[in-house]
Structure 1
Amino acid sequence: MNNVLLVDDDSSIRELMELYLMAEGFQTVHAKDGQEASELLEKQRFQLAIVDVMMPQKDGWQLCMEIRQDYDLPILMVTAKGETDDKMKGFELGTDDYLVKPFDPRELVMRVKAILRRYKVNAHGKISIGNLSMDLNMWEAVWDGDRLSFPTKEFLLLFKLASSPGQVFSRDQLLEDIWGIDFEGSDRTIDSHIKKIRKKFEGKPAPFEIISIRGLGYRLEENKLC
């Protein structure tokens, strides 16, 4: 079960978040400020932190920096401030997403799920499929002894598909997991990136085939001959 740390000095906000998150199967732990959150982080393991910006003792910015320095978990910032500068500061400090109060609790749950899916892609580390190996930590892909160069999104997209061979992913799911929930482009972005990935593996037998599933999305199948 995913354990979520809720950090906000407003108890009613924490209780509202807890109500909706627990209904979706999440376990929650409350902290009324950044200092209390720091103490909890030392004692328990969390899969995600939802952090308010404006808090006494230790604010959300300070807590975000601390989490990025000492822990490996995603952060969703929640604040009453919606200005672009505040969002930019949050992303520069390492937050994974940003939600402005007042918010729809259903959107909060949706963003939490999207972050955790996206973070799962980023946390696997290494995979091998046939004669292709990918290392997310080194940002490296090696095919049959040759190192391949990928733009960021192509690398993450291939890593996502190769992490679950045979699983069908919808375009919307891939967009949400790789590009983020606020991506405003067309779902045809996925088609374009898949085409580029396929082109990189032309010329000799590829270790996999990316199969288009009409009306659904894509799945990757391993080529057992490679």
Structure 2
Amino acid sequence: MRILIVDDEPKTAAYVRKGLTEHAFVVDVAGDGIEGLHLATSGHYDLVLLDVMLPGVDGWTVLQGIRRQRQTPVLFLSARDAVADRVKGLELGADDYLVKPFAFSELLARIRTLLRRGAAQAAQEVRVGDLEVDRVRRRVSRGGERIDLTAKEYALLDYFMHHVGEVVSRTLIAEHVWDMNFDSDTNVVDVAVRRLRAKVDDAFASKLIHTIRGVGYVFDARDD
């Protein structure tokens, strides 16, 4: 799942980004309200973490701009702890409001709650062939057998599940799963796909991950 952080405090943004990345989220960061609003309304995000006090335009304005176009869950992260501020944020359409400083464990719990609540936008359980993924619990099984994945393997699988039947290039995979620019001399994507295949494909007659030579990969239940 992909999360956008809109916060002009580099230390806070880096702290949250690191923690979420360790829990298999793909995270983008915007350092001001203008960039944040642009990304939130032009990209695909499962959740937006939004500060109130931002350069460019404030968080209230960003939220209003998002709500005119999207119903993406928004969680305010702000040092403004007055009841009036919390009420204003919720009345403008925010889904939650957490006051800085905060414990990462609480933030993660609130994020997971919002993602469960936002299941109307993205199915909690998705299936391709006999492969099932519970996105809320991050559980994967195929043919009824539980499959244990590392955080990056799960992030790669989740990206494939969001693009079933589409040919995705190594560049796109590297950008969305590793948040990096793809270097043609780096085989990190191919190695990761090979490891994922070993867990979700090798023991099964029907293959889900298909290589498109010179292009990338396609994930679906078709036969080669």
Q: TM-score range by the shorter chain?
A: 0.5 to 0.7
* Structure 1 unaligned regions, length at least 5: 126-226
Residues 139-174 of structure 1, C-alpha deviations (whole Å, 9 max, x = no match): xxxxxxxxxxxxxxxxxxxxxxxxxxxxxxxxxxxx
Q: Identity percentage over the alignment?
A: 36
Q: If the length of structure 2 is used for normalisation, what is the TM-score? A: 0.53
Whether the 8 Å contact between 1:14 and 1:30 is mirrored in structure 2 is yes
Q: Partner of 1:72: helix, strand, or coil?
A: coil
Whether the 8 Å contact between 1:54 and 1:79 is mirrored in structure 2 is yes
Q: Partner of 1:6: helix, strand, or coil?
A: strand
Question: Which residue identity does 1:28 align to in structure 2?
Answer: V
Q: Could you say what the CA RMSD is over the residues aligned between the two structures, in angstroms? A: 1.5
Partner of 1:75: 74
C-alpha deviation, 1:124, in angstroms: 7.0
Give the 4+ runs in structure 1 shifted more than 6 A: none
Partner of 1:96: 95
Residues 40-60 of structure 1, C-alpha deviations (whole Å, 9 max, x = no match): 234421111000000111110
C-alpha deviation, 1:119, in angstroms: 1.3
Q: Partner of 1:30: helix, strand, or coil?
A: strand
Question: Which residue identity does 1:30 align to in structure 2?
Answer: V
Question: Which residue identity does 1:88 align to in structure 2?
Answer: V
Partner of 1:56: 55
Q: If the length of structure 1 is used for normalisation, what is the TM-score? A: 0.52
Q: Find the aligned partners of 2:83 and 2:43 in 1 and give their Cα distance.
A: 33
Question: Which residue identity does 2:100 align to in structure 1?
Answer: K
Partner of 2:150: none
Q: Find the aligned partners of 2:41 and 2:82 in 1 and give their Cα distance.
A: 32
C-alpha deviation, 1:106, in angstroms: 1.4
Q: Find the aligned partners of 1:37 and 1:20 in 2 and give their Cα distance.
A: 20
Determine which structure has more spread, i.e. the larger CA radius of gyration. 1
Aligned length: 123
Residues 6-27 of structure 1, C-alpha deviations (whole Å, 9 max, x = no match): 0000011000001111111100
Partner of 2:216: none
Whether the 8 Å contact between 1:20 and 1:106 is mirrored in structure 2 is no
